[in-house]
């Protein structure tokens, strides 16, 4: 999950800073909303440093905090990814912290297979 401008931030031609705090959204595959739910939280900050002023394609993004946590009340935490992340312009990702880091073919953070299976199991009625 990478989105610019999703929180409050301040930018210059040399860099960009963002703070994001999301807590409490619920998700359920049940169309009535009555089935099992999963909670989501994210509390993170990131800064982009541009190699070329104003050019996001040249930015190195440094993110720190709790990227995301998914849990089901009464079931426990299923996914927790936190720490320091460095995203480089060439698509490289470095992570120092807790949780398993997985990416898709486009370089986006995704839920690792083991955690994804636990999440699907937890959402069964």
Residue 105 lies in a domain: yes
Instruction: Judge whether 2 lies within some domain.
Output: no
Residue at 70 is within a domain: yes
Which residues form the domain of 68?
8-122
Number of structural domains the chain divides into: 1
Q: Is residue 42 part of a domain?
A: yes
For residue range 49-62, what is the model confidence (pLDDT) as tens digits?
888 888 888 999 99
In a domain, 93, yes or no: yes
| Confidence check: pLDDT of 76 > 60 | yes
**For the chain, what percent of residues have pLDDT higher than 70?**
89
**Residue at 1 is within a domain:** no
* CB neighbourhood size of 24 (10 A): 7
Domain-located, residue 17: yes
- Tell me, yes or no, whether 24 lies in a domain: yes
Cα–Cα dist 121/123, whole Å = 5
């Amino acid at each position: 999950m990478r989105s610019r401008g999703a929180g409050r931030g301040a930018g210059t031609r040399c860099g960009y800073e963002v703070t994001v705090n999301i807590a409490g959204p619920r998700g359920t595959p049940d169309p009535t909303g009555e089935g099992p739910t999963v909670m989501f939280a994210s509390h993170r900050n990131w800064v982009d440093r541009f190699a070329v002023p104003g050019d996001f394609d040249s930015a190195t993004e440094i993110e720190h905090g709790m990227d995301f946590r998914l849990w089901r009340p009464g079931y426990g935490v299923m996914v927790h990814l936190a720490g320091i992340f460095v995203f480089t312009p060439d698509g490289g990702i470095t992570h120092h912290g807790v949780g398993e880091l997985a990416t898709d073919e486009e370089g986006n953070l995704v839920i690792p297979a083991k955690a994804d299976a636990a999440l699907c199991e937890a959402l069964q009625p």
